[in-house]
Amino acid sequence: QITLKESGPTLVKPTQTLTLTCTFSGFSLTTSGVGVGWIRQPPGKPLEWLALIYWNADNRYSPSLKSRLTITKDSSKHQVVLTMTNMDPVDTATYYCAHSPYDILNGYYFDYWGQGTLVTVSS
Amino acid sequence: QSALTQPASVSGSPGQSITISCTGTSSDIGGYNYVSWYRQHPGKAPKLMIYAVTNRPSGLSNRFSGSKSGNTASLTISGLQAEDEADYYCSSYTSSRTWVFGGGTKLTVL
Chain B interface mutation, best of A22, A109, A111, A115, highest count of B Cβ atoms under 10 Å:
A109
The pLDDT of residue B24: 97
- What residue ranges of chain B have pLDDT lower than 50? none
Q: How far is B15 from chain A (nearest CA, A)?
A: 27
The pLDDT of residue A24: 98
The pLDDT of residue A50: 98
Q: Residue B45 is nearest to which of A48, A96, A108, comparing CB atoms?
A: A96
The pLDDT of residue A30: 94
Q: Residue A107 is nearest to which of B47, B52, B89, comparing CB atoms?
A: B52
Per residue in A46-78, pLDDT tens?
Answer: 999 999 999 999 999 999 999 999 999 998 999
The contact set of A with B (CB < 8 A) is 37, 39, 46-49, 52, 60-64, 96, 105-116
> Taking CA atoms, what residue in A is nearest to B5?
A46
Asked if A68 contacts A84 with a C-beta cutoff of 8 angstroms, the reply is: yes
**Which chain A residues are closer than 8 Å to B103 by Cβ?**
46
pLDDT tens per residue across all 123 residues of chain A: 999 999 999 999 999 999 999 999 999 999 999 999 999 999 999 999 999 999 999 999 999 999 999 999 998 999 999 999 999 999 999 999 999 998 888 889 999 999 999 999 999
Nearest Cα to A47, choosing from B98, B71, B19, B45? Answer: B45
